[in-house]
Structure 1
Amino acid sequence: MSQERRDRYDEQALHTRIARLPAPMSDQLSTWVRALHGQGRYRHTPAGFRRIRRYLRIAWPTLTLWTAAGLDLRQVTADHITSELARHQGNVARGLLSVLRSFFRALKQERLIFLNPTAGLQLPAGVHLPRPLSSDRLAGALDRLDGPAARLIVGLVAIHAVRAVEVVRLDLADPDLARRTLAVRRGEGIRLVHLDDLSIDLAADRLRERRRRWPQATNPHLLSTSQTYRHPASPQISYCAMRAVFDQIGLLPRQVWADRILDEARQTADPVHLVRLFGIYPSIAVKDVHAAHPDKALPRIR
């Protein structure tokens, strides 16, 4: 899919979601989108619609909660925000605060509000060590999933620590079953994952299912749905569709991803091994090894 078509798709999806909220909340969010996209009162480098969609997704539960309480963004106070942040922890709370700041900065810039209720709000940095999932929560997980696509998504995350958002971006050409590899795009680079027998079987099952159900499919993504397999914009499956897969086993995608890395960390005290195997940041590798071996002093890695 061309970048122009992708942008149009993301823009339409963004405005469709915003339209689900009543005015004036929807109008305020539309103003926020225009400001972030560089069409506000002050010119700046525009944020892409895909990024803005990601921001909106992070704040969506909070926005719907405030809407249900009869609030719009002009009525939200620092107390409302503090109360909402208290419901979350760690990076989730920090990510939410970052998005809320962007809302109110944009509205102040566009002169829809006079005071920014996020001004001065801070969250402690904190260091949260990962916790392993109990074995009974993962046992038989693949058997509880509905269909080859769902099993492939969870399998790649649980076995190879491929991030769920990376799985849904995979194209048909990315799995090379003959060479037993999977090309995973990460930023500007590609991480080559060497597949085990189970992962080969999961990918092959998914490819057979796709050929059987949609022999005339035009969407180049490895994962598609009855709504997207011949969609002219060739979109990847939605975040909600991906999350629905993990809902079947009662786990979040990040829990499964983190547990796989932590399981490997239990087998080694070498964070460099984790960096090379999973392509993760050194700081994450050190944190996981520390969680798996709290009695050992770890050297810094660069």
Structure 2
Amino acid sequence: MAPESPIDSATALRAGQPDYQRFAPKTVDLSNPWLAWAKYLAYRLAEARGWGGTIRFAVNRGLAVVLTGYVEGDLIRHSEVFTPLRALDLPVGHTTTVLEEMGIFEDDSEPSFERWLAARLEGLAPGIRAEVERWTRTLHDGGPRSLPRQPGTVWLYLNRVRPALLEWSDRCDHLREVTRDEVLAYLKTLHGRHRHEQLVALRSLFTWAKRASLIFRNPTSRIKVGQYQYAVLQPLIPEQVNRSVAAATTPAARLVLALAAVHAARVAQIGTLKLDDVDIGNRRMTIAGRVRPLDDLTLKLLLDWLEHRRKRWPNTANLHLLINNQTATKTSRASNHWISAPMRGQTATLERLRVDRHLEEAIIQGPDPLHLAEVFGLDEKTAMYYADSARALLEQAAELQHR
């Protein structure tokens, strides 16, 4: 018989709620109709998502923990069950999935965005902090006259304005106190890409503040962002690529490497690939809505991965092409972090390999932006950037030959 959890139950429970942390197998009421219903739903989810026997057993035990003494009408909250389930080494996510199906679960866990936002606002003057928080939430959630931005855009904008805001917080309490001269003085300390990116973010912040009537005049108005001059892209050297190839030691990592280096697929695009996107018989794959022919190398690596996937997770119901131990029992995609991990620390990262593939195509086929846009689905500006870089590299090579 398993011992009772040693955790002090009084530390995490609301008054009048069941004491989940004092669970012991002898206290379970197997005739509890809520537990019977939960086990039935757990069985259906296990069949649909390919949960193995170990997970099924652990989920059923977790359900017994949280449903013992359950009273109809109560909500079971994430904050109440997380600690006792983890203390018993039971799967929180799978257990709460069943409770969600039952309609008796409330996820009151703090979103990661809230933790990140609080950390990024730390150190700002109180007035500036409150105003910047409103701006960031408008970017994240949208507003009456604006749509929500992508999470990555919100992250970049706040990170870019933070250094200036920290400096101004030493002498200003609100955004309305920041003058044009102070903006210009700060921008003089920046050059090239950093100046360009921070000015764009500051203009977004102060434009919003003016629209929200938080400032009298926009201190960034009439300050030209200017056209940022991008450097000529340089191709990777063979040694850099070889080190990344050597780092790809698993079937999944080798396939990911090929998708980036041969098909110029972004990490997010690789993560969202589904099994239906692969057509082995016709040797083609659909990446981000564009059909790509499968070359011999990619086809071999794809078949190796699918065989490994079948043997490692024979019962998985996850339809994503790439799965791992965490996603094989769910329906969600693998994280960008997991996909990129084997190349982390390498010069030839997945992003560099993707860029190098675009550049290689522009050099071999000629610096034609229309061709690049057609093959890879690039927008006009990006295609022209690759074409210009390829043209510059070809001209440099021609000059060296004539010396």
TM-score normalised over the length of structure 2: 0.55
CA separation in 1, counterparts of 2:235 and 2:114? 39
| Residues 1:283 and 2:388 aligned together | no
Residue pair 1:161, 1:258 contacting (<8 A) in 2 also: yes
Task: Let me know the Cα RMSD of the aligned residues.
Answer: 3.9
| Residues 1:257 and 2:358 aligned together | no
| Residues 1:57 and 2:155 aligned together | yes
CA separation in 1, counterparts of 2:300 and 2:195? 38
| Residues 1:294 and 2:395 aligned together | yes
| Residues 1:197 and 2:296 aligned together | yes
Write the mapping of 1:169-180 to structure 2, written as runs, cut at 5 A: 169-180=272-283
| Residues 1:82 and 2:82 aligned together | no
Q: Which amino acid aligns with 2:207?
A: R
Label 1:125 to 1:68 Cα distance change in 2 as closer, same or farther (>3 A). closer
Show the counterpart of 2:32: none
Q: Which amino acid aligns with 2:135?
A: W
Residue pair 1:172, 1:222 contacting (<8 A) in 2 also: yes
Q: Which amino acid aligns with 1:82?
A: L
Q: Could you give the per-residue CA deviations for residues 129-181 of structure 1, whole angstroms, max 9, x where no partner exists? A: 32212221112422213533333222211112223332222222212222221
CA separation in 2, counterparts of 1:216 and 1:85? 55
Q: Which amino acid aligns with 1:251?
A: A
1:237 corresponds, among 322, 331, 335, to 335
| Residues 1:123 and 2:221 aligned together | no
Unaligned runs of 5+ in 2: 1-106, 398-403
Residue pair 2:264, 2:358 contacting (<8 A) in 1 also: yes
The more displaced of 279-288 and 58-67 is 58-67
Show the counterpart of 1:184: 287
CA separation in 2, counterparts of 1:228 and 1:74? 45
Show the counterpart of 1:98: 200
Label 1:179 to 1:206 Cα distance change in 2 as closer, same or farther (>3 A). same
Give the paired residue count: 272
CA separation in 1, counterparts of 2:328 and 2:218? 44
Label 1:61 to 1:210 Cα distance change in 2 as closer, same or farther (>3 A). farther
Superposition deviation, residue 97 in structure 1 = 4.0
CA separation in 2, counterparts of 1:207 and 1:224? 10
Residue pair 1:170, 1:221 contacting (<8 A) in 2 also: yes
Label 1:53 to 1:207 Cα distance change in 2 as closer, same or farther (>3 A). same
1:168 corresponds, among 250, 259, 271, to 271
1:134 corresponds, among 219, 227, 237, to 237
CA separation in 1, counterparts of 2:258 and 2:219? 43
CA separation in 1, counterparts of 2:286 and 2:242? 27
| Residues 1:222 and 2:327 aligned together | no
Show the counterpart of 1:15: 114
Label 1:94 to 1:156 Cα distance change in 2 as closer, same or farther (>3 A). farther
CA separation in 2, counterparts of 1:101 and 1:113? 13
TM-score normalised over the length of structure 1: 0.70
CA separation in 2, counterparts of 1:59 and 1:229? 35
The more displaced of 66-75 and 25-34 is 66-75
Query: Comparing both chains, which one has the higher relative contact order based on Cα–Cα distances under 8 Å and sequence gaps of 6 or more?
Result: 1
Report the identity percentage: 26
Label 1:225 to 1:113 Cα distance change in 2 as closer, same or farther (>3 A). farther
Q: Which amino acid aligns with 1:194?
A: P
Larger Rg: 2
Residue pair 2:367, 2:388 contacting (<8 A) in 1 also: no
CA separation in 2, counterparts of 1:146 and 1:64? 39
Superposition deviation, residue 184 in structure 1 = 1.1
Residue pair 2:251, 2:308 contacting (<8 A) in 1 also: yes
CA separation in 2, counterparts of 1:80 and 1:175? 54
Label 1:214 to 1:62 Cα distance change in 2 as closer, same or farther (>3 A). farther
Superposition deviation, residue 275 in structure 1 = 3.9
Unaligned runs of 5+ in 1: 1-7, 297-302
* Partner secondary structure for residue 131 of structure 1: coil
Q: Could you give the per-residue CA deviations for residues 29-54 of structure 1, whole angstroms, max 9, x where no partner exists? A: 54124433343xxx21422xxx3302
Q: Which amino acid aligns with 2:208?
A: A
CA separation in 1, counterparts of 2:276 and 2:161? 39
* Partner secondary structure for residue 120 of structure 2: coil
Q: Name the structure where helix makes up a greater proportion of residues.
A: 2
